[in-house]
Amino acid sequence: MANSERNRKILQELVRQPDNSRCADCGAPDPEWASYKLGVFLCLNCSGVHRSLSSQVKSIKRDFWEDKLVEFMKSNGNASTRAVYEKAVPVYYYRPTPNDSVVLREQWIRAKYERKEFTGEIKYPPVSYTTGFYEGMLWKKGKENTQFLKRKFVLSDREFTLTYYNKEDESKGPKAIIAIKDLNATFQPEKIGHPYSLQITYQEEYHTRNIYVYHENPEEIVAWFNAIRAARYAYLKTAYPTGSDEELVPMITRNYLKEGYMEKTGPLQKEPFKKRWFILDSQNRKLLYFKGQLDAEELGAIFIGTEGNGYSVRECVPNNARGNKWTCGVMLVTPERQFVFMCELEGEQKEWLGALKQVLSRPMSPQDYTTEAKIKYKR
């Protein structure tokens, strides 16, 4: 069939155009699917979400395309469809990347095409996360146990706080008032064991604190996430009044560069190795370690400076067994101390070395010097 051959060629040319060469929803390169209802080119994962919304999708390589559908793709495409459905995306709204949690991708696609949240029409009542105030129940993990209990959370971007209460009744006062100032939120489905779950991290005096929450409803947890981002953005605007969106948006929330178990010994390097959960927070240049992966409070924090001021990292071979079960060593040197960590597998060791080197190679900002001084002071 000459037509089908010709149509396939037209589609191949269309998908090579700059606007179409990345997935319309997550930005993954070389999309191989398309929605012929919306006229956008999509990656395999996003096409799956579209199919579940009963938006018709086809493979641009394997499926048969009728002439009129090819014409439709030609006259639409990613850029013109985006101009309609992404006309008014709030600057703080999280746009998922190919590596993000499934729930973020799904809800972004639903918010865009199904709920039409970004078409620029004024909605009443306004979309919940845009109002500067958010409240509701979330399941929160207990501090000392693994049980999740329903807690009331209230977010205020006037006070710049996230508050939670132990009972639905607020008269007994809040259990905790968390400042938005240094709060971070990140999706953690694997660690928490629930697809719609968040790790919320904040500073309490000199400690880093974590709380772990989830909601049964995917739309609700993503609304919470974007409400928190809206409040963080409003805070950053007041803290850095001259900062551009380009500078502020990456500071709203962040994913951690690397997390995982390593074995750690003490300052004399003679102490028995203990298994600890590590989180590398690239933005704050901190390597935090915890007893368990869902702990509320860290056991310690190591500041990661630059090679120029006495920090370095290298592979190391353990010379004698001191209770370590693992043998792939990482040596982290700071001006005060050498840290020896053991990874279970070589791949893990490579990833830790790479991630730590990435932080080491970034120049330090004035804010980083403050963080460094605070960590030293705590010790």
Q: How far is the CB of 46 from Zn ion (least distance, A)?
A: 3
User: Smaller CB distance to Zn ion: residue 37 or 175?
Assistant: 37
H helical segments located in the chain? 2-16, 44-52, 67-75, 78-85, 102-109, 189-192, 218-239, 245-252, 346-360, 366-378
Question: From the list 26, 138, 301, 375, which residue makes contact with Zn ion (rule: CB under 5 A)?
Answer: 26
Angle between helices 218-239 and 102-109 (to 10 degrees): 90
| Residues of span 44-83 touching Zn ion by CB under 5 A | 46
User: Smaller CB distance to Zn ion: residue 40 or 302?
Assistant: 40
* Cβ proximity of 219 and 110 under 8 Å: yes
Stretch that binds Zn ion, among 18-26, 50-58, 114-122, 133-141 (CB under 5 A): 18-26
Contact between 109 and Zn ion per CB under 5 A: no
Peptide bond into 125 cis (omega under 30): yes
Question: From the list 43, 70, 340, 375, which residue makes contact with Zn ion (rule: CB under 5 A)?
Answer: 43
Residues in the chain: 379
Q: How far is the CB of 10 from Zn ion (least distance, A)?
A: 22
* Cβ proximity of 34 and 57 under 8 Å: yes
Q: How far is the CB of 100 from Zn ion (least distance, A)?
A: 10
Contact between 15 and Zn ion per CB under 5 A: no
Nearest CA to 98 out of 132, 47, 148, 34 is that of: 47
Contact between 23 and Zn ion per CB under 5 A: yes
What is the per-residue DSSP string for 106-128?
HHHHIIIIIS-TTS----SSPPG
Stretch that binds Zn ion, among 38-46, 108-116, 210-218, 327-335 (CB under 5 A): 38-46
Tell me, by CB under 5 A, how many residues bind Zn ion.
6
User: Smaller CB distance to Zn ion: residue 43 or 221?
Assistant: 43
Rounded to the nearest angstrom, the gap between the alpha carbon of residue 112 and the centroid of all alpha carbons in its chain is 20
* Cβ proximity of 35 and 57 under 8 Å: yes
- Distance, CA of 260 to CA of 277 (rounded, Å): 6
Contact between 304 and Zn ion per CB under 5 A: no
Amino acid occupying residue 214: Y
Mask 149-178, x = binds Zn ion (CB under 5 A)?
------------------------------
User: Smaller CB distance to Zn ion: residue 44 or 91?
Assistant: 44
Q: How far is the CB of 98 from Zn ion (least distance, A)?
A: 6
Q: How far is the CB of 28 from Zn ion (least distance, A)?
A: 5
- Distance, CA of 373 to CA of 299 (rounded, Å): 18
Stretch that binds Zn ion, among 15-23, 173-181, 194-202, 206-214 (CB under 5 A): 15-23
SS3 30: coil
Question: From the list 10, 28, 102, 296, which residue makes contact with Zn ion (rule: CB under 5 A)?
Answer: 28
Rule CB under 5 A: which residues touch Zn ion? 23, 25-26, 28, 43, 46
